[in-house]
A and B are shown apart, each in its own frame.
Chain A
Amino acid sequence: MSSAMIDLILEATLDTLYMVAVSGTISALAGIPLGVLLYVTRPGQVLAQPALSAVLGVITNVGRSIPFIILMVAIIPFTRMLVGTSIGTNAAAVPLTIAAIPFIARLVEGALNEINPGLVEAAQSMGATPWQIIAKVLLPEARGGIFTALTVTVVTLVSYSAMAGAVGGGGLGDLGIRYGYNRFNPTIMLITVAILVVMVQGFQSLGDYLVRKSDHK
């Protein structure tokens, strides 16, 4: 294999990692609070706001139901406004982030749902404020579940990022399609898939390790 080809693979790998890292970080920063909000505003919860809860739920569902490939092209004007261009890795990171936020939010909500309501009641009996309950009970107790949610999200982002080629985003998926499929180069196809497999495996192992380490249930 030519060294140019190797450079290409290397660059595509870094592009994929870059897109996953940027969209993963930003969507976690937005998705975890949104997930907490979805949970605590439910009727009967510590910051019960049934109307807000319903609205957030609808928005989240809409976000989750749009197919990624459609979302990507539909928000091109927004992407251009945000990062100044509609092509490249930065442009691909925008729809990846938008798609991942409601995804993380629902998973985090699910993780919070696993917490024994007795723990919240105990904290209330100690005179904890709703914010103290979130910071000292809900988030620490759901730590393992939140790491699981982030792992699932990152793995999903790796596969979604393969579609980023549609907006000239680069990355391994794009490389595989252009060189492996369009130019009939099965070696490239296999190599990109192999790298993706290793990447997903790595993220999953790291996630499992964090879950084990953070959870004392």
Chain B
Amino acid sequence: MIRLHNVSKTYYPRRGDSAQAVHALKDVDLQIPQGRIHGVIGLSGAGKSTLIRCVNLLERPTTGIVTVDGRDLTGLSGAALNEARHGIGMIFQHFNLLTNRTVFANVALPLELMGMQRGAIRERVTPLLELVGLADKASQYPAQLSGGQKQRVAIARALASRPKVLLCDEATSALDPQTTGSILALLRDINHKLGLTILLITHEMEVVKSICHRVSLISDGRIVEEAEVGDFFTAPRTRLGRDFLNDFLKLEPPRALIERLEEAPGKRSHPVVRLAFSGDAVSTPLISRLARECGVDVSILQAKVESIQERTLGLMIAELMGPPAKTREALAYLESHDLHVEVLGHVQRDD
């Protein structure tokens, strides 16, 4: 439904001065099938905003092709581009509602732009306001609404032209956690009911976890990692992915331990490992087996179980205590059981 092919965007702060060029996006490839919710996560300045703005050509890519619903948008301009944009809804971090229009008139705006008749507009807007739960606020102005309500109006407005694609630009970043939850539930509901394809950008793992099917990690204008959400949360492949995950799970070794960690194993040190297990591994009593079969003691420093998209994810930071040969054996054992094992370092034995 949405396809970005080799999309790059370069800004020239001073015309033609290539030394000053800012490469906001570099060779981005992205493919989102119909009906899916795809998240793009990254730190601020990574190029998320540019990426989403390239999809409806609010930013024109310097090179590359953007296709939405089988139509090459990069080849369009003027009236044809405006026509294509009717098929792409967009919501924003700061809602961007017109302050001098009522809730009803805000939702009606895209339809007015399309030249729809008054009666037809009313028929279209009323059910949309019901869908987002704001039918009773139709004649109020945005200033009278809360943040969550404003975003609901913006969602109704984005859906008014019956788009096939919805772009969400940090749609929940200005909302409190509870309101975020209800907006995400609404988006999931819309995705389900209308089969809408959703591309969202965010810096919050919570958003990715709760509604995305697939996620891309963007860093410095490049997509560095892309995975199904369940896989990303169990085994991110990049350093940045792990940072995001650790930050989200708050599963870092205790500070005192970090200071004692050494890169290389020594004669008198134990490995400290991060274990991520999902699927069958969760229900297997691995730790006790480890103790029994490999003869290593396991000291659990931190542990957590998360449920992500009907998959259970267990995470643990543990110290494996035993002679080097035994601990090596233990690591091999864990890896053979579909666990994601990461050695964080080694600590000197206390004894």
Further 18 A-B residue pairs, CB within 8 A, beyond A122-B90, A140-B100: A118-B96, A121-B58, A125-B167, A126-B86, A126-B113, A127-B84, A127-B85, A127-B86, A127-B110, A127-B161, A128-B82, A128-B113, A129-B82, A141-B98, A215-B99, A216-B142, A216-B143, A217-B99
Q: Write the residues of chain A forming the contact surface with B, with a CB cutoff of 8 angstroms.
A: 116, 118-119, 121-129, 132, 136-137, 140-141, 143-144, 214-217
| Cα–Cα, bound, A121→B52 (Å) | 13
Residue from B88, B92, B99 with most neighbouring chain A CB atoms (10 Å): B99
The digit string for B69-90, where 1 denotes a CB below 8 A from any CB of A, is 0000000000101111110111
A48 to chain B, nearest CB (A): 13
A43 to chain B, nearest CB (A): 11
B223 to chain A, nearest CB (A): 23
A63 to chain B, nearest CB (A): 30
| Cα–Cα, bound, A134→B90 (Å) | 20
Chain B interfacial residues counted at CB < 8 A: 30
Contact A126 B110 (CB under 8 A): yes
A and B contact pairs by CB, cutoff 8 A, 25 listed:
A116-B96, A118-B92, A118-B94, A121-B96, A122-B96, A124-B58, A125-B56, A125-B89, A125-B167, A126-B85, A127-B82, A127-B83, A129-B82, A129-B113, A132-B113, A136-B112, A136-B113, A140-B98, A140-B100, A144-B100, A214-B100, A215-B99, A216-B143, A217-B99, A217-B100
Contact B90 A125 (CB under 8 A): yes
Chain A residues touching B, majority SS: helix
| Neighbouring A residues of B99 by C-beta, 8 Å | 141, 215-217
Contact A119 B100 (CB under 8 A): no
A192 to chain B, nearest CB (A): 40
A25 to chain B, nearest CB (A): 24
Contact B101 A140 (CB under 8 A): yes
Query: Which residue in chain B gives the minimum CB-CB distance to A124?
Result: B58
A167 to chain B, nearest CB (A): 41
Contact A123 B143 (CB under 8 A): no
| Neighbouring B residues of A137 by C-beta, 8 Å | 98
Contact B109 A119 (CB under 8 A): no
B163 to chain A, nearest CB (A): 10
| Cα–Cα, bound, A116→B92 (Å) | 13
Say yes or no for B333: interface residue by CB 8 A criterion: no
